[in-house]
Amino acid sequence: MCCDLKRRFLLLYATQKGQAKAIAEEICLQAGTHGFEADMHCISEMDKYNLETEKDPVVIVISTTGTGDPPDTARKFVKKIRDKSLPPDHFAHLQYGLLGLGDSEYTFFCNGGKTVDRLLQELGAQHFYDTGLADDCVGLELVVDPWIDGLWRALKEVFLLQKEKEGMSTDVSADPHVGHEINLSSKIQNLKLEDEEARSSDVPSQKLLDVDVVASARDAEPSLVHSVPPISQSALNIPALPPEYIEVQFQDTHGENPHLSSLISEGATFEVPVTKASRLTREDAIKTALLLELDIAGTAFDYQPGDAFCVICPNNVSEVEELLHILGLSEKGENFVCVKVKQDTKKKGATRPQHIPERSTLKFILTWCLELRAIPKKAFLRALVECTSNAGEKRRLQELCSKQGASDYTRFIRESNVCLLDLLHAFPSCKPSLNLLIEHLPKLQARSYSVSSSNLYQPGKLCFVFNIVEFPACPTRPVLRKGVCTGWLAELVAPLLHPNKDTLDIRRGSSPTEKISIFARPNNTFHLPSDPSVPFVMVGPGTGIAPFIGFLQHRQKLREEHTDWEFGETWLFFGCRHQDRDYLFKDELRCFLENGTLTHLKVCFSRDSSTAEVAQPKYVQDVIRLYAKEVARVLLKESGYFYVCGDKKHMADDVSDAVVDVLSVEMKVDKLEAMKTMATLREAKRYLQDVWS
């Protein structure tokens, strides 16, 4: 279709970690082949678009961050459309479609998108296409792909109706997707894929003839590198090849790398020394938990108990070296590279990624800027196809990024946590260029941790607790890997954990202590009640206990300083595997209990065998049910607070169910009514969670 016939729509994205932007770019890429022109902007760039005067359809892709908040880039936009003085018909002229991204592991699933959707509706805006809610827990592509497929039909209908209103007739008989029978109110999950012939004319895909390039038995098991019928014998619809847009120029080795603070847009960063490190678990514990103390004295860093903060961490050194070797760039790691946008790129509005410095060493980019462990998106796989010389490997990569290979992608890429290095080992003839990595690998994210201390109790100190994350070897990854940040921190503080004569001599000398860079990530709700007389319940198994140590330290100091104040009772439900191996902060909790800071401590051990006649509860949710009357009293009669911290999938949901059961029994109501009460507690910010997947 000629450029002058292309129909414009406004495409806005609001991203926290880059996923919403990547999806918006995919929509932008496909738009041209469907006869549309996407005017794409970050939603924060409010000087580049104006919804008050926008006449064309608007498409919004928005993620969710924190505990259901819109991403940082959408804060100003949300504040603007939340203005109570705006009339209810403020956006009556606006037609839009919205795609929300979220993770159902968290309570407020897709709440960023839902919030914007609701506010636009309240201001009179109309859907031209149903809202899609994509779940990162099961795979965003399960909703994203069909939502984008259906978007083009909906947009064509919008422009068709516009022309009819303008009295302009148009012949749409040649377009198999446009018809008056289209049901725009159908739910996203009911969208059906077009038949192969209709789609091949409109979707940016490439049909491949049946090719038998895998020399293996027909009934063999599929794997990352091997497929079986029907996919191995199918024609494939694969995504359009993303246009390259980055140019990398190698320079000499002279110069200085940017400061790490320049990579962070979330606020001020602080380089602080690690002053203490201790192991909280026994050597034979299943997981290794470490406690680190940072010295923040003399900095402007401030926090409250319950807050989180972020650690800026590098990729694993050996993985960086390995990648350089595979790329054939081992000798150029210390060379500076200049990263620019290609002058002749076909990518509309291409810009250098904000997380990539214009000039730095190659090692700096691979170490501090790119998430090497990221699960490759299908667009990346599609680009890697062009860098692969072996026919069998090429075909398998095509399958993994195709519509037909969706289940294989989920099983062998997504669920197996495959990363770029795994792919390059599995497909040795794949030799991507450096610019391709910069274009497709997302920003290396800082890792968030809950504060486990009180600035009132330990002035100038900040403590935090973490398990050293381990990813065991598997068929797609022959070696064990540790978490990017926890593995790095453990290695960094090893001299503090295992001091020997050499390290002691160094510490007595003038050698500086190891430092890490951090920045604040305040939690707006996960704080102690403002009224100290209000009782509260804390549930924190494993390292989920971390923020509650800060709570109790703070409460103890307040009790010492204000002997005339009234303090409400405090409950802590803690659980671990073994009483003698991973009972974190056992001595500290006993002290809190003895001095009255902690009123009730209830613990359970899931892997210890019991000799008691009556089976002991194994999990915190079981213990909560044993104290149903007391929990209900705190929540219902005394307007207390309930805090949960820890693993979402294997604990927080079970605790929530237990509290609903407690409310149902003690209120003598059915489960539905108890769930309504629970929703009221959440809404009132009296049932609070700080959880992770």
CA angle 424, 427, 433 (to 5 degrees): 50
Token code pair at residue 258: 């940017």
Which range, of 184-188, 386-390, 405-409, averages the lowest pLDDT? Answer: 184-188
Q: What pLDDT, on a 0 to 100 scale, did the predictor assign at position 107?
A: 73
pLDDT (mean) for 7-26: 92
Q: What pLDDT, on a 0 to 100 scale, did the predictor assign at position 3?
A: 41
pLDDT above 50 for 547 = yes
Crossing angle for the helix pair 653-667 and 671-683, to the nearest 10 degrees: 120
Give, in order, the Cα–Cα distances in Å from 584 to each of 223, 283, 285, 601, 644.
Answer: 40, 13, 11, 13, 17
pLDDT above 70 for 114 = yes
| Residue 371 banded pLDDT, cuts 50, 70, 90 | very high
Q: What pLDDT, on a 0 to 100 scale, did the predictor assign at position 512?
A: 53
Query: What tens digit of pLDDT does each residue of 38-60 get?
Result: 999 999 999 999 999 999 999 99
| Residue 191 banded pLDDT, cuts 50, 70, 90 | very low
Q: What pLDDT, on a 0 to 100 scale, did the predictor assign at position 76?
A: 93
pLDDT above 80 for 212 = no
Q: What pLDDT, on a 0 to 100 scale, did the predictor assign at position 612?
A: 65
pLDDT above 70 for 173 = no
Q: What is the overall mean pLDDT for the chain? A: 88
Q: What pLDDT, on a 0 to 100 scale, did the predictor assign at position 614?
A: 64
pLDDT above 60 for 215 = no
Q: What pLDDT, on a 0 to 100 scale, did the predictor assign at position 688?
A: 95
pLDDT above 90 for 579 = yes
CA angle 163, 165, 169 (to 5 degrees): 45
Query: What tens digit of pLDDT does each residue of 488-520 get?
Result: 999 999 999 987 645 444 444 444 579 999 999
Token code pair at residue 436: 């391709």
| Residue 611 banded pLDDT, cuts 50, 70, 90 | low
Closest CA to 260 of 369, 124, 375, 413: 369
pLDDT above 50 for 274 = yes
Token code pair at residue 120: 């636009």
Q: What pLDDT, on a 0 to 100 scale, did the predictor assign at position 692?
A: 83
Distance from C-alpha of 604 to C-alpha of 416, rounded to nearest angstrom: 32
Distance from C-alpha of 390 to C-alpha of 401, rounded to nearest angstrom: 17
Tokens 């794409």 -> residue:
40
